[in-house]
Chains A and B, each alone.
Chain A
Amino acid sequence: MPRALMEEQQDDPRGFVLSHESAGALDGPGLRHVVFLSGCQMRCHYCHNPESWRAGHGAWVKASEALSKVAGLAHFYRNGGGLTLSGGEPLLQAEFCHALAQGAKAMGLHVALDTNGELHENLPDSFFDPIDMLLLDIKHSDPVAHKELTGRDLAPVLDCARRASALGKEIWVRHVVVPGKTDSCEHFERLAGLLQAIPALARVDLLPFHAMGSFKWASVGMVDPLAGVEAPSEEAMTTGRAILRQALPSVPVV
């Protein structure tokens, strides 16, 4: 790599951005700008953005370019909102992700990282400096089932939660309820146990699986592994919330 390019890369790294959502109201507290980064190492069966899996997909942009889309809109995000780095799995582009977080901090914005956590092990503590909170996706409560559902291990995810807690980061856990996979009482009780062990847990979002991502599987030439699965019943959602609320009395379960 020519020297000039290397230097530029260090100051203003490039990354692959799938899209921007200027009005995110579902990815962390308040009204947020969400940058979706491409690439993911997990292969969750219920993923509603399978087009985000492929690394090197989307627009190849400098961090400063991506941030310029946020800067003009920062008014909107200062009142309890902020910036959320999502994906895909943003930690696959850690350097780029860090530059975006730093840039957003410089604008005075709250920064959330929407991650499955697995890749934290490779990162120094300083990586988390400009990040205020984690939106941590815990996909399953059982290690074997986790591997089956996502293709990856559960342990590093939980490890990430402990580490972020130790670093003083607020954590919101998000969990998708899939009929037949993650909707049993037994599962919710096990999940509650895992969540009790996360000191910085501040909220749990229980998200009903929806089949709206199904067409996207077809559009990227893959077979939807959950084709034909319906959204969970309201009853299953209520049961799940009740179990979690009982186990986590001081944490809002939404």
Chain B
Amino acid sequence: MSHMNELGAISQSIGSTEGAWEGFAGGPWQSAIDTQDFIARNIRPWTGDDTFLTGATDKTKRLMVKVEEVLRAERDAGGVLGASLEPSAILAHAPGFIDKENETIFGLQTEAPLKRAVHPRGGLRVVKQALHEHGLEALPAHVEKAFSNWAKTHNQAVFDAYPADVLAARRAMIITGLPDAYGRGRLTGDFRRVALYGVDALERVKVADKAALGAKDELSAEDIEALGELGEQIRGLHELKALGEAHGCDLSRPATNAREAFQWLYLAYLAAAKQSDGAATSIGRIGGFLDIYIERDMERGLLDEAGAQELWDQLTIKLRLIRFMRTKAFDELFSGDPTWVTISLGGMGQDGRPLCSKSDFRVLHCLSTLGPAPEPNLTILWSQDLPEGFKKFVARMSIESRAIQIENDDLIRPEHGSDAAISCCVSPMAQGKSMQYFGARCNLLKTLLHAINGGRDELSGDVCAPGFEPVSGDYLEFEDVKARFEAMMKRTAKVYMKALNILHQSHDLHAYEAIQFALHDTDLHRTMACGIAGLSHVADSLSAIKYGKVRVVRDESGLITGYVNEGGAFPRYGNNDARADDLAVWAAQTFMAELRKLKARRNAVVTQSALTITSNVVYGQHTGASPDGRKGGKPFAPGANPSNGAELNGFVAAGASVARIPFSDCADGISWTVSFAPSSLGRTAQERVDNLTSFCDGYMSMGGYHANLNVIDRATLIDADRHPEKYPNLCVRVSGYCVLFYRLTPAQRQDVISRTFHER
């Protein structure tokens, strides 16, 4: 559609902005939806340090007392405080408050804080299961009946369609983590649009888009799908306005001051969190945008620094209270109740100016004013060109809180522009312009094991991929294994893509994120975001076969269930040794090349990530022994991490190895979770900050994409494992998000402790 951002429609609304835009530098953003242009023309980059920051206001402190109470109650209740059984929707619940007179920003997911909503539209089974597991009241009979007898859920639709090979791959856990049980969010709305333009202007654009499409002489199946979606989007916008009215806010018009901008943006975000079953519910790159409103209010004498920090503190409190109802099975994969409220900070503009504002500092400062917490998921778009003051502040807060991840803005910007944000953990997206068909991941190590076993699963012995011959000799030969692996990757990629096309067609139809799509351009860039797990073990296994001498061990049925390396030491991925690192690169590139050959629905561009979140533990549990010496059932290294204990030359060499995995073939992100003992970073606090900054600059300049930075002693984690009550607020970063350590499953805690710690 060439008519998106219908100019006349927006212009019409300018007449009714009544001073909302007064004081802003004008430009193309005034005649078409263009948040990036608004920011570029109005942002005030901050190149100083953090000394301007202030503490929390009394109002925030009073609110925090209540928040702590409700968090404690949730902890005491075993993690879930209760559920609201009315199926969630934008208008399903009456407005909820924590302590109304001390709240600057209104709105909760349900009528009470931490009371979780249910989303049976995505899948009835998981809702019932979760309520049962948490010992909560079951769904009312009429709700259950509605979603089993009359309405088709996303989950039902997917399983109605899945063919036999997909089901077999799912059962063998060669493809897993698929969002087919519930209606997961797949995009980050450009919530800023609601504050800048108001809902009425956004609606006019969508109405015009729909009218233009509907006026075609002939409608294809795709056109009809798009028409239906535009209808849903418009309805979503109406509901958003109604949500505003319920909270005393007129969202039909643009925000006129900073407090309104925060409130408008948050209500738009809240509508998304109410409508979708939200992993992930990212909020986008909002620091610089909201800072423009703060700066204008300050100039008008309406706001001081304390007031500005209060707005960020109060928004952060709301974001920390986001919850979803999850099953135990979910918790084993994605442990610790994460919600991925990813907020993107920093980054550079196309014109070479930094886009970090004072508010980017204020967001990080919430870790001090409110204390550390795992959400929102603080994500720095790191560029070597960012001001030193900001980089050093990031490093310091990272060392103090372990709540920060960095992603390479110098890689993201050329691809996605300077208004990109991270969705979920590591996925870069142009805000309001792109969405991601989230595809979980393929177990690449199991693919290798199946290749060696001729398509039989090394644990069950079942034939998962028919038509393949197993290795016949006693010793593995590199070229032979490589050829078999290539063939099995080709086959696995096909099954994987079938599964993704099915489940996302269903998701679009049955769990459509209408309000988030309404806050996007109608013409969207879509990606089909596949993923791989077990990369380090694949690389080390291939290296063992190539540079060592690997003998296979068979059971009585001829199934290869174990491997013995008789050839001595072999190079391992993670030491900046090209012999091993190139094998990791080869595996990632080869699988990506197979995926690229396949057609993804709605012309989505196929991408992949090397990211496991915490599912590396479960993947490992369901994968047999591998030629690299990893024992069956042992966790994989997370994401693109080197295997535990493989790194012999320190974290710089390890980072250089990870940085070799090319972003061009892992365009959905390459995740590295690195743990440093504080003492290994320097003798003084300042040295640690400086060295961590140098390290981040170096890693990024080598092409490293992402790093979770954990500065902590292993001894502290061991103590926290034994005495969780002593560490209720201890955060650690796992692959892609931050979590309270005590909320991890015991197996996940052990995994974090047994990771390579860089210590001296």
List chain A positions with a Cβ less than 8 A from chain B. Answer: 19-26, 30-31, 33, 69, 72-73, 75-77, 79-81, 205, 254
Contacts and interface: CB of A to CB of B under 8 A. Distances in A.
What are the nearest 5 A-B pairs in CB distance? A76-B698, A23-B650, A22-B652, A22-B653, A22-B650
B469 interface: no
Given A22-B656, A69-B649, A80-B694, 20 more contacts: A20-B653, A22-B649, A22-B653, A23-B651, A23-B652, A23-B680, A25-B680, A26-B680, A26-B760, A31-B652, A31-B695, A33-B652, A73-B652, A73-B656, A76-B652, A76-B695, A77-B698, A79-B694, A81-B694, A254-B683
Contact of A72 (B576, B654, B680, B697): B576
A21 B760 contact: yes
7 contacts: A22-B656, A23-B650, A25-B687, A25-B691, A73-B652, A73-B702, A79-B694
B690 interface: yes
Given A25-B680, A25-B681, A26-B682, A73 B653 contact: yes
Interface of B: 576, 648-654, 656, 679-684, 687-688, 690-691, 693-695, 697-699, 701-702, 758, 760
B667 to A, nearest CB: 23
A69 B656 CA distance: 11
A65 to B, nearest CB: 12
A81 B682 CA distance: 12
A22 B683 contact: no
A45 to B, nearest CB: 21
Contacts of B697: 75, 79
Contacts of A33: 652
B709 to A, nearest CB: 13
Contacts of A20: 649-650, 653
A80 B682 CA distance: 13
Given A31-B695, A31-B698, A205-B683, A23 B690 contact: no
Contacts, number: 77
B681 to A, nearest CB: 5
A193 B699 CA distance: 43
Contacts of B687: 25
B649 A79 contact: no
A24 B648 CA distance: 13
Nearest to A27: B760
Given A20-B649, A21-B760, A73-B576, A254 B684 contact: yes
A213 B116 CA distance: 53
Contacts of B691: 25, 30-31, 81
Query: Chain A interface secondary structure, helix, strand, loop or mixed?
Result: mixed
A76 to B, nearest CB: 3
Contact of A22 (B576, B684, B701): B576
A117 to B, nearest CB: 21
A24 B702 contact: no
A19 B653 CA distance: 13
A76 B576 CA distance: 13
B712 to A, nearest CB: 16
Contact of A30 (B653, B656, B694): B694
Contact of B649 (A19, A31, A75): A19
A34 to B, nearest CB: 8
A135 to B, nearest CB: 13
Most A C-beta atoms less than 10 A away, residue of B690, B693, B701: B690
A193 B680 CA distance: 31
Contacts of B682: 25-26
B702 to A, nearest CB: 6
A81 B694 CA distance: 8
Contacts of B652: 22-23, 31, 33, 73, 76
Contact of A80 (B650, B679, B690): B690
Contacts of B702: 73, 75
B649 A26 contact: no
A33 B698 CA distance: 13
Nearest to B758: A23
Contact of A21 (B650, B688, B698, B699): B650
Most A C-beta atoms less than 10 A away, residue of B576, B697, B760: B760
A223 B690 CA distance: 39
Contacts of B688: 25
Nearest to B701: A75
Nearest to B687: A25
Nearest to B702: A75
B448 to A, nearest CB: 28
B698 A75 contact: yes
Contacts of A254: 683-684
Given A72-B576, A72-B656, A75-B702, A23 B695 contact: yes
B690 A21 contact: no
A211 to B, nearest CB: 15
A241 to B, nearest CB: 12
B705 to A, nearest CB: 15
Contact of B650 (A24, A79, A81): A24
A20 B758 CA distance: 14
A254 B683 CA distance: 8
Nearest to B695: A31
Nearest to A205: B683
Contacts of B701: 75
Contacts of B656: 22, 72-73
Contacts of A31: 652, 691, 694-695, 698
A22 B691 CA distance: 13
A72 to B, nearest CB: 6
A54 B682 CA distance: 29
Contacts of B758: 23
B286 to A, nearest CB: 31
Contacts of A77: 698
A69 B576 contact: yes
Given A72-B656, A80-B690, A254-B683, A22 B698 contact: no
A80 B691 CA distance: 9
Contacts of A22: 576, 649-654, 656
A15 to B, nearest CB: 18
Nearest to A29: B687
A7 to B, nearest CB: 29
A25 B652 CA distance: 11
Nearest to B647: A22
A26 B702 CA distance: 23
A72 B649 CA distance: 13
A172 to B, nearest CB: 11
B650 A76 contact: no
Most A C-beta atoms less than 10 A away, residue of B679, B687, B693: B687
A23 B760 CA distance: 10
Contacts of B654: 22
A249 to B, nearest CB: 18
A30 B760 contact: no
A10 B702 CA distance: 33
Nearest to B575: A22
Contacts of B760: 21, 24, 26
A36 to B, nearest CB: 11
Contacts of B698: 31, 73, 75-77, 79
